[in-house]
Structure 1
Amino acid sequence: MTFRLAACAEMIYGELPLGERVRRIHDQGFEVELWDTRGRDIAALAATGAKFSSMSGYFGGSVIDPANAHEVLSSAEKLIPTALELGVERMVVHPAELGEGGRAVRPTHRSTGEMWLTGLRTLEKLGELGERHGIVFALENLNTILDHPGIPLARAKDTHALVKAVDHPNVKMMLDLYHAQIGEGNLIELVRGAQAEIGEIQVADVPGRFEPGTGEINYPAIAATLRAAGYTGVIGMEAGAIGGQGIAAGDAALAAFRAAFSPN
């Protein structure tokens, strides 16, 4: 049983233009994850022949804030044509709006019932939008200790609870195991408990956010758990290469990623 492996073009091969990064990832047999697609040559990216597994699915507002949740919905709808042109399967949203460097636009350190209800309703509407266009919206968990302070309802157990409550086939989790390790740990039980709601998995090692095998996470054990559970979806490496932004370092990072998730 094999997985579909993808790599985030935003985080490796940084010395190359984006289109060349995409092409290099594709040529090595990986699918491609993207972040913000605004202002980019979408036709050129599509012409690479790469398969794009995911991209950012909004550019304003907060899923859980009743004052501006409508901005998530309107911006998601504006990005749908790009997703369709690239053949993207999942559009990623976060519990609250991220600004420069992944920081919270409006830092909040306490969640409320109103946030839960707003998140539920917003995700239900995203599910309806996704159903009309054949796209899944994936809610990504984050860590608030290191990378994303001030984002409420960001833990994997919270994003899982929201997605499970929505119970819509076009709303899933983007389960980021790097973030979960920093904020929660117990990754194997997390994967087992959330499997039915997972749309895609993202990985990077801790500390450093580099490729699997460079830190403390036992990714081969997680891979074995996923195989035993019957998971055959996408696992995306959203990580930098420990050797730097050059081509050789990127190639080595992708090889290590493949090895971590290949059968013994």
Structure 2
Amino acid sequence: MGQLFQLAACAEMLWRDKPIEWRAARLHEMGFEVGLWNWPDHDLTKLEKSGATFSIMNGYLRGRLTDEEGAAELLETARETAQVGKRLGVARLNLHGTGLGEGGLPVMPVEVVTGAMWLKARDTLHRVAEMAEKEDVTFTLENLNLPVDHPGVPFGRAEDTLALVSSIDHPRLRLNLDLYHAQIGEGNLIELCRTCLPWIGEVQVADVPGRMEPGTGEVNWHGIAKALKAMGYSGPVGMEAFASGDPEAALEAFRNAFTV
């Protein structure tokens, strides 16, 4: 057994009393890549000096996929974020169906996603992929759960993000397949991974319920790790989870679950 996957962890969710650059440096020391949320919250120079390798970061500041005004805002802020991503060497820049505000709630909730919204979202993501190719960056589209954390987010389910990304089928636009969200909203995680496999840019994990490290909830993460290996996946796996206790112990539990 060995570490097959490129393991990363979300810096904002661990050591929450420490400066972000300290967290990034400690994750690097422990052998993990670093996930970030919104870059304007941080001192980029200090992050550059942390020595960390950055796996993923929020790829836009404002906007949405579903209408022209929101699409223009998303593209503008995504282009700005791409420059920051290149500065930090971030591998993937993450998108959602709409901007998220306080507590992860959508800035503009959508109760019914119409056919016109689907077509506009596909057009917007086409434009994102074309921009990403010009900027030499990669964007991902993340699934979110509607019942617990993100009610009202359009294209929240993994089946929705898969439909959009696979229909565009561009190497600069991949899936951020978040299995925590998928377990709450859809389940059947191994088959979901298999269906999404050709378009996965990153897999993210946290246990259910509670959104903490593997081993604290109901999901057999080591079984999922073995299934991913059997499918031929050896890419990034990021822990986007809170620690149930000591953050270093939580990270070792994550590492153990995904050592196959």
Classify the TM-score, shorter chain: over 0.9
Per-residue CA deviation, residues 148-191 of structure 1 (Å, 9 max, x unaligned), is 00112210000001000011100000000000000000000000
- 1:262 maps to 2:259: yes
* Conserved? CA contact 2:66–2:118, under 8 Å: yes
Could you say which residue in structure 2 is the equivalent of 1:172?
A: 174
Match of residue 195, structure 1, among 171, 194, 197: 197
Give the Cα separation in 2 of the matches to 1:83 and 1:157.
27
Match of residue 119, structure 2, among 114, 117, 120: 117
Q: Secondary structure at the residue paired with 1:73?
A: helix
Q: What is the Cα deviation at residue 87 of structure 1?
A: 0.3
Q: What is the Cα deviation at residue 96 of structure 1?
A: 1.4
Name the amino acid aligned to 2:189. Answer: L
Could you say which residue in structure 1 is the equivalent of 2:243?
A: 241
Please list every run of 5 or more consecutive structure 1 residues that lacks an aligned counterpart in the other structure.
244-248
- 1:68 maps to 2:65: no
Identity within the alignment, %? 51
Paired residues for 1:4-153 under 5 Å: 4-153=6-155
* Conserved? CA contact 2:20–2:42, under 8 Å: no
* Conserved? CA contact 1:66–1:115, under 8 Å: no
The total of aligned residue pairs comes to 258
Give the Cα separation in 2 of the matches to 1:187 and 1:64.
27
Per-residue CA deviation, residues 57-84 of structure 1 (Å, 9 max, x unaligned), is 0011101233311100000111122101
Name the amino acid aligned to 1:209. Answer: R
Name the amino acid aligned to 2:108. Answer: R
Give the Cα separation in 1 of the matches to 2:179 and 2:231.
17
Structure-2-length-normalised TM-score: 0.97
Could you say which residue in structure 2 is the equivalent of 1:232?
A: 234
* Conserved? CA contact 2:175–2:200, under 8 Å: yes
Q: What is the Cα deviation at residue 39 of structure 1?
A: 4.3
- 1:253 maps to 2:217: no
Give the Cα separation in 2 of the matches to 1:38 and 1:184.
33
Please list every run of 5 or more consecutive structure 2 residues that lacks an aligned counterpart in the other structure.
none
The structure 1 segments of at least 4 consecutive aligned residues displaced by more than 4 Å after TM superposition are: none
Could you say which residue in structure 2 is the equivalent of 1:246?
A: none
Q: Secondary structure at the residue paired with 2:13?
A: coil
Give the Cα separation in 2 of the matches to 1:148 and 1:24.
30
Give the Cα separation in 2 of the matches to 1:43 and 1:17.
13
Give the Cα separation in 1 of the matches to 2:131 and 2:48.
23
Could you say which residue in structure 1 is the equivalent of 2:207?
A: 205
Structure-1-length-normalised TM-score: 0.96
Give the Cα separation in 2 of the matches to 1:39 and 1:188.
35
